[in-house]
Structure 1
C-alpha cells in the first residue's frame, strides 16, 4: 500500500510544481493591511493547535493514518496549485480541502492546509507569509469545516453525492470568505464593504463555480481510487461515522 501511495503522491507533487508559473488566488503577500492580517492569524491559531493534538492522537491509535495524512496533503497541494485563467487577468484554482476534511476531520485538515500554504508560499510564490493567517482561515479552516458539515448532513442519503457536495461547497465557501476578507479590508468608496464584497464575490464566482463542480467530481473519483486499493484501512479510521451509509 505504501509503495502505491508513494508513487501517487510523487505524481501529484510533480504536476503541482509544473503548474507553478502565474498568480494564484491565495491573497498575495503584503496585500492585506497588517491589522487584518494579524487578526486572521490570531483566529487561526487555536484551530491549528487543536488540529495538531488531533493528529497526534490519531497517529498513536492508527499507525497507517500517516500515509493518508500525507495523501490528503498532496491532494490539497496539487489542486490548490492548479491555476486556470480568469476574466480578471489573474487566475483561480480549486482548494482540495474537502478530501482531507472528510477523511480526517476538519481540525486535522486545518494543520494540513496551513502546511500546504507554507510550502506554496516558499516554493511556488503563491500567497505569502503576511497573509498566511487570512489564507489559512479561509482555505484551511472555513473550507474544511463546511465540507465536513455538508458530508455529515448528506452522507445518510447518498455517500457519493455527499462527497461531491462537500468538496464543491468547501471550495465555494473558501472564496466567499476570501471575498469578505478583501471587501472588509478594501471597502468601496461609494457602496462601502457590502458593495466591495459583492464585487469580489461576483468576479470569483465566474471561475469558482465551474471549478467547485469539477473539484467535487475529482474528489469522488479520488475516494473511489482510495477505497478500491485500501478499503479496509479507510474504513478503520474514517472520521465520519456515517461513511457506510
Structure 2
C-alpha cells in the first residue's frame, strides 16, 4: 500500500484545525437566547397546517429509508445517532434577528444529508426540531411543519445537491463539503423567509417582503454559512483521512479520494 503524501496530510489537518477553531469561536460567543427557528404562533393556522402536510411525505419516506438501510448495514444506526446529535447541537446556537421574528443558527443538515442521505436527514431534522420545541422552547409545535420543511427538506436536499454538483465539477473533498454546508444554511433561511413572507406579507408585494426578511438574516447568516461550510468540509476531510471506509459504506463516495 502506498504511503500517504505528508504534504496532503498536513493540508488536510490544517483544514480540520481551521474548521474546529472557527466553529468554537462562533459557538462560544455569548448571545441571548430567544425562541429559535420560526417562533410559536408566528404562522397562521392555515399555513401551519400547509407546511405540516408539505413536510409529512418527506418524513415518511425518510423513516422508510432508515428502516431499509438499517437492515442492510448494522453501522447505519450508530451513524444516524452521531449525525442526529450533530444536527441537534448545531441548530441549538441562536443568534437573535428580532426584525425577522426568528433567530439565525447553523443548520447541520449538510453533514447529515451527506452521511445519511437527504430523506433520512429530514427525519433527523424533524426529531431535533421536535425536541427543541418540547424541551428548549426553540421554535414551536405549531410551526414544527414549517421549520421541518425549511431546515429538513430544503436544507437537506439543497445540501445534497450542492455536494453532488461540486463532486461532478471535480472539486476537492473539502470544498464539496463546504458547498454542502453553506447551501444547507443559506437555502434553509431562504425557505424560512419565504414561509414568513407568504404568511405575513398582507397587502405588500410577496417578493418585496421576502427580500426584506432574507436580507435581515444575512448579516449573521453569511458568516454562519461560511462557518458551517468550513466545518462540514473539515469533518469530511478528517473522516477521509482516518476512516475512509465510512465514506465508502454510506455510498456517497465510491472511493476515498479528494
TM tier, shorter chain? Answer: 0.7 to 0.9
Instruction: Assess if the C-alpha contact under 8 Å between 2:114 and 2:252 holds in 1.
Output: yes
Query: Given the alignment, which residue of 49, 53, 57 partners 1:42?
Result: 53
User: Match of 1:182?
Assistant: 196
Q: 2:111 aligns with which of 99, 108, 111?
A: 99
Distance between the aligned counterparts of 2:210 and 2:255, measured in 1?
36
1:138–1:178 CA contact under 8 A, matched in 2: yes
CA RMSD of aligned residues (A): 2.2
Contact between 2:240 and 2:256, CA under 8 Å: does it hold in 1? no
| Change over 3 Å in CA distance of 1:91–1:192 after alignment to 2 | same
TM-score by length of structure 1 reads: 0.85
Other structure's SS at 1:22 match: coil
Q: Is residue 214 of structure 1 aligned with residue 227 of structure 2?
A: yes
Q: Distance in 2 between matches of 1:243 and 1:180?
A: 38
CA distance in 2, matches of 1:96, 1:126: 16
Query: Are the counterparts in 1 of residues 181 and 228 from structure 2 also a CA contact under 8 Å?
Result: yes
Task: Provide the TM-score with structure 2 as the length reference.
Answer: 0.81
Q: Where do residues 110-129 of structure 1 align in structure 2 (5 Å cutoff)? A: 110-129=122-141
Q: Aligned ranges for residues 4-153 of structure 1 at < 5 Å?
A: 22-86=33-97, 88=99, 91-153=103-165
Q: Mark the runs of 5 or more structure 1 residues left unpaired by the alignment.
A: 1-15
Alignment: residue pair count: 227
More deviation, 77-86/54-63: 77-86
- After TM superposition, the runs of 4+ consecutive aligned structure 1 residues lying more than 6 A away are none
Q: Deviations over 1:183-242 (max 9, x none)?
A: 1100154x3222211110110112111101110001122223334443223322233557
